[in-house]
Amino acid sequence: MEKRIELRSSPSIDEQFKLARVALTHAQKMINGEIRTIRINCGADPITGAGKLSETKLEQYQQACYDMAVQSANIWAARSYLDYAEGSQDDTIGQALALSFVAEKTRDLLAQSFAGGGNLSAGKNSADAILANEELSSYLEFNGGNLHYDLVGRDLSEMSVQRLPSGLSEEKELIANTFKRFADEVVAPLAESIH
């Protein structure tokens, strides 16, 4: 992965991780703003956001609630992947893919916000903050774009990587290797003879 980073004038990997965290913070603010808007529009107190919600009004925001649940899960997954990648200093491919995943999920949220999906726009200020930050926009553009995946693919080919680190314990890695060997030696030949 060092070759990829040297190919362009960019922030260091540590700076990219910081930018990824900033992107996730803004993305979470967008989601929180949308959720707060839903709560207020459905009867919660406008100042505290607390209180019982109207089921009838909540039904009007069913799609928006679903969208926010999916986006929230995406951002949580991106944050978890980033945490894992930051702790895996030797796994440069995993780090690059984590940076891409964060960029993709942040861009997905931005796209949904600007496309006007649902009846919400509370997160627009956070979206504007992301786009106004030149470093952050560059991070999202590069790490979420096709060129980044092309470079990662080239690195995988050059390094002849057959399998990325699994993070499994030694015992579970042995079991996984046994299943892989069984699939390669028994299942694959049978599948070929069937087809």
Residue corresponding to tokens 């909540």 = 58
184 DSSP 8-state letter: I
Q: Supply the pTM of this predicted model.
A: 0.75
Average pLDDT over every residue of 23-45: 89
Please state, in angstroms and rounded to a whole number, the distance separating the CA atoms of residues 61 and 180.
46
Residue 137 structure tokens = 């926009």
pLDDT tens track for 85-120: 998 887 888 899 999 999 999 999 988 887 765 555
Give the model's confidence band at 7: pLDDT under 50 very low, under 70 low, under 90 confident, else very high.
Answer: very low
* Continuous H helices in 54-169: 55-60, 62-86, 92-115, 124-132, 134-143, 146-158
Alpha-carbon distances of 139 from 6, 13, 37, rounded to whole Å? 15, 11, 29
Q: For residue 165, give the nearest of 93, 66, 67, 107 by alpha carbon.
A: 93
